[in-house]
């Protein structure tokens, strides 16, 4: 817990939307542009508890932005604030350029799946969407289009009750797409899905991003969003821990050089050299594990040779993103 407060919030994009990260040109997409969501000091208190605490959120338009934090971190409350379902105690936010003080200024352009939508179990997927389209004043012609997007067209005639959990979630996304939104907000859409369902959901969200939507999707598991999100927002105890391109977060993973040498006892010599050079080291299973980066490898190699030790292995190990996240959030 103590470590969490010491981690500065990283914000690599400047105010006008220009991305300054050297990784912006990489394979993950972080488009140059406006913020689809922007908040300043957004705060929601319930009694003495600040469920959302002074959050300055920036979500780039056209990206898949992952919103990650442990249970109770304030994700759902933030999403509810952004959808105008609850009022902030302090601060402000704009969604698609319009203030959350006036949700009707942007809600017609937003699709959301916050809690599992109430579908009629005995009606087919298509009939359920027809009911929602009628209630929402959307054209029925849109139904085939959204069924195609979520790949449920061939099962659209089946009763909702007979759908798998993954199909139910995709129907929920279809419902959120009925109004042709520019921004889709999804609260834990992968919760409870099996690996195949998670892969389908990822592929659906990528398709939507590639069609130009901004997708803001929450999860309590970073691993779930690691392969999907272009942009990551990490929260804990209502506070922002990190926001920026996923590559920026990947760079923060702790590195270690794992070094093996020819003879028993050599690892202790290596450890002594590395300690002399100011690094912390553990010797595990006859190998030295040095908490440093690749840049130290050549220097170590020379020093080892000078000490009469022949190295048989130098490997760079990186902590997983999930481990990095756990370190940042104090192990929760």
DSSP 241-281: EEEEEHHHHHHTS-EEEEEEESSTTHHHHHHHHHHHTT--E
Is residue 73 involved in binding ligand ATP (CB under 6 A)?
A: yes
Is residue 20 involved in binding ligand ATP (CB under 6 A)?
A: no
Is residue 233 involved in binding ligand ATP (CB under 6 A)?
A: no
Give the residue with the Cβ less far from ligand ATP, 49 or 263. Answer: 49
Query: Can you tell me the distance from the alpha carbon of 84 to that of 81, in angstroms, rounded to the nearest whole number?
Result: 5
Least Cβ distance, residue 317 to ligand ATP (angstroms)? 30
* 64-72, 197-205, 256-264, 292-300 -> range binding ligand ATP (CB under 6 A): 64-72
Tell me if residue 4 falls in helix, strand or coil: helix
Give the residue with the Cβ less far from ligand ATP, 62 or 69. Answer: 69
Give the residue with the Cβ less far from ligand ATP, 69 or 245. Answer: 69
Cα distances (angstroms) measured from residue 46 to each of 53, 103, 238, 284? 11, 21, 12, 48
| Contacts of 54 by beta carbon, 8 Å cutoff, 6+ apart | 41, 42, 43, 90, 91, 239
| Contacts of 21 by beta carbon, 8 Å cutoff, 6+ apart | 12, 13, 30, 244, 245, 247, 248
Is residue 75 involved in binding ligand ATP (CB under 6 A)?
A: yes
- If we measure between CA atoms, which residue out of 189, 228, 204 comes closest to residue 149? 204
Element (H, E) at 250: helix 246-251
Is residue 189 involved in binding ligand ATP (CB under 6 A)?
A: no
Is residue 126 involved in binding ligand ATP (CB under 6 A)?
A: no
Is residue 72 involved in binding ligand ATP (CB under 6 A)?
A: yes
Is residue 74 involved in binding ligand ATP (CB under 6 A)?
A: yes
- Number of residues written out for the chain: 332
Is residue 66 involved in binding ligand ATP (CB under 6 A)?
A: no
Is residue 71 involved in binding ligand ATP (CB under 6 A)?
A: yes
Least Cβ distance, residue 109 to ligand ATP (angstroms)? 24
* 75-83, 100-108, 154-162, 177-185 -> range binding ligand ATP (CB under 6 A): 75-83
Residues 11 and 58: beta-carbon distance below 8 Å: yes
Is residue 38 involved in binding ligand ATP (CB under 6 A)?
A: no
Q: Which residues bind ligand ATP (CB under 6 A)?
A: 46, 49, 51, 69, 71-77, 220
């Amino acid at each position: 817990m103590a470590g969490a407060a010491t981690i500065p919030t990283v914000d690599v994009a400047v105010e006008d939307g220009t991305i300054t990260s050297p990784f912006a040109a990489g394979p993950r997409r972080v488009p140059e542009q406006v913020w689809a969501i922007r908040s300043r000091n957004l705060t929601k208190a319930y009694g003495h508890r600040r469920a959302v605490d002074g959050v300055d959120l920036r979500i780039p338009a056209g990206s898949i932005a992952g919103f990650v934090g442990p249970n109770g971190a304030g994700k759902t409350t933030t999403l509810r604030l952004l959808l105008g379902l609850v009022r902030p105690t302090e601060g402000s936010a704009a969604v698609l350029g319009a203030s959350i003080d006036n949700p009707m200024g942007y809600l017609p352009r937003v699709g959301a799946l916050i809690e599992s939508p109430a579908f009629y179990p005995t009606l087919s997927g298509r009939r359920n969407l027809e009911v929602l389209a009628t209630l929402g004043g959307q054209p029925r012609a849109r139904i085939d289009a959204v069924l195609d997007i979520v790949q449920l067209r061939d099962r659209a005639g089946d009763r909702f009750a007979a759908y798998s959990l993954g199909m139910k979630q995709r129907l929920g996304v279809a419902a959120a797409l009925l109004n042709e939104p520019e921004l889709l907000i999804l609260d834990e859409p992968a919760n409870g899905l099996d690996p195949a369902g998670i892969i389908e959901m990822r592929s659906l969200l990528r398709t939507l991003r590639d069609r130009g939507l901004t997708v803001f999707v929450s999860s309590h598991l970073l691993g779930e969003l690691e392969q999907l999100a272009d942009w990551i927002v990490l929260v804990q105890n209502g506070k922002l821990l990190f926001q920026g391109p996923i590559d920026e977060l990947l760079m923060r993973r702790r590195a270690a050089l794992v070094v093996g040498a020819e003879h028993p006892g050599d690892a202790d010599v290596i450890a002594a050299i590395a300690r002399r050079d100011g690094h912390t080291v553990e010797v595990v299973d006859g190998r030295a594990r040095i908490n440093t980066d690749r840049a130290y490898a050549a220097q170590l190699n020379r020093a080892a040779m000078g000490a009469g030790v022949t190295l048989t292995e130098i490997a760079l190990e990186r902590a997983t993103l999930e481990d990095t996240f756990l370190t940042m959030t104090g192990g929760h």
